Structure 1
Amino acid sequence: MQHIIQALKNFNTAKFGEYLHDNVLYMEVSKKTFLKKISSEFNELKKQGYSRFDESYKGTCEGVCHIGYEGLSFVCNSGHYLDILIESKDGVFIDGLCICSKLSNNRNLAKKYNLNILFYEEDKVKFKPSEVYTQIKNQYKNIVNEVSKFKEPITLKQFVEWYKKYKFFKDYFNNRHPYEMLFNRHRLFQKTQRIKSDLDDISKVYANNKKATKALLDFEELKTEEEKLIWFFKNQDNLYGAVRFKLPKKYSKNSIASAKIKKVTIKIDLTGFEHVLEYFNKIYDLHEYFIEKYKPLPEHYKDKNYDVSYDLEVYLKLHNKHTEIVAQYGLNYH
């Protein structure tokens, strides 16, 4: 095993590859795919100035999948590490391996940054797309193709009507729990979620037409800081509503905005919806005002007991201001 350990320790994927069987799957992927991934991770470390792991240590898996199996921790002094289980029947070639997320060592190691040796489902040799997967893939391709062929400028109403065609696409992701999609290991679904976010952000302008009208009227009646803060919290779900758009300098005279969908920039005619962008910008400007007013003081940064995360609710808490409003309307309290 020492030759295998040395190859990994020295980031030598070519030598390590000599000990892998050509016809064996490693973590359900081919030898070539596995070596490409681990080589990529080693190259990233090399870019940061690390040429090898400083040491390797034995450990025991405490996870459900391989509980009790012996493994190895490869650790850099920087805190980068690789926890791996290796099976070798003859002590020369590797018959099986997997990355371990629950490897326990008999000493305290400075393991901070885990090498991300994970594979998408599509990378696995035995991957077979489901009917849903295929349908999502086809709709994704159609969306990308059709967006690139929009006759510009497209009106916002035309865009919304076009997007309705992809109800299955939208509903699939809307009906999934966020954590389910966060840990989903399908490359396709990660790509489709990104483009769906682009499409949804544009659609938000249309969806907030009536809400924006009422909110702007309410805003004109606000007098105190407390009233403005409550208004902000009630509308903060649209804090970044305008971020998707690039607006012309004289927006009041020209309502043609640019928006990016994937890598394609489209022009959208927002005539009749200018007030929605005004509403989005008021929310953002109010947020920036409060963020600046209640930003952490030097003493907050010095005291490790303080949470100084970039968050308005956190900032208000640091200053012990408007606590009742935050408790009633803040997102972190619901």
Structure 2
Amino acid sequence: MKKGIISVIILITLFSCKDKVDEKSTVPAKSNNPYILVLGNAQDAGYPQIACQKECCNRVSLNPELKRFVSSIAVVDPISNESWIFDATPDFTAQTKLLSRYVKDKPLPDGIFLTHAHIGHYTGLMFLGREALGAIKMPVFAMPKMQQFLTENGPWSQLIELENIDVKPLQKDSIIILNSRISVQPIQVPHRDEFSETVGFIIKNQHKKALYIPDIDKWEKWNRKITDYIKEVDLAIVDATFFKEGEINRDMSEVPHPFVEESLALFENLSEGDKMKVFFIHFNHTNPLLIEGSDAQKLVQNKGFNIAKQGLVISF
């Protein structure tokens, strides 16, 4: 058996597979490996979504525990007791509370990495301002246009002026060393870049690599091959906003994410081991992958892929 496949099998056995966030959830005992914590898996507007009266959202009214936070992950180093959040979502307050259960005596992460300037990915920064926490120089890593957007537009510019946040510049494909065990590399992806560029991230520890791309236009619009990345990394958490064409009552070409059906077809010829690396995330409220035990979930899992469930812990 190839070494890469062995690594994935070990990774799978270290999951905490609870869909509902457990108030008493903890890291796997005696693990010193860096790990990823899934802090949310919904599209920017959350789940349930505002003014939605469809069955997909009404079921959450009847069962509030089915609510899901907006997509975000954290990387945790249990040895240094450090953590970093990827994207500051509208659910930032609850997500930092969730993260704080995994690090000792630290209610906030050691830094925030931003992917782009759509509402679900940066607006949580507002909770660091004077109306809320009044944070002191929280490191916020941002690409050039994202940094310019924050600097030139209120209320975000006030966060910088009052030194609630300390914006750290990123450059595509450059490597940011976080500590002796973890580094981060932004990779630019095509997306609706009205206000900033969009990036995903490669997160490396001493031995393994994880890919995080919560938002991208159709895979074929990218000048790189996602299948090549999946083969190269040990974990790939990727955009699955919509399950299929016709899912929403809008022209879906206006929001050209990869449909899950398209990704399943594109990834079909990957090896069994490579398929095991893939975790789908960033689900619109209409996406049946949000529904535990749905036919859509079963289809994805039966084909060898995974779902990034809120509260999931992934050692890498």
Please state which band the TM-score falls in when normalised by the shorter chain: under 0.3
Greater Rg by CA: 1
Q: Which has the higher contact order (CA 8 A, sep 6+)?
A: 2
Specify which structure has the higher proportion of helix.
Answer: 1
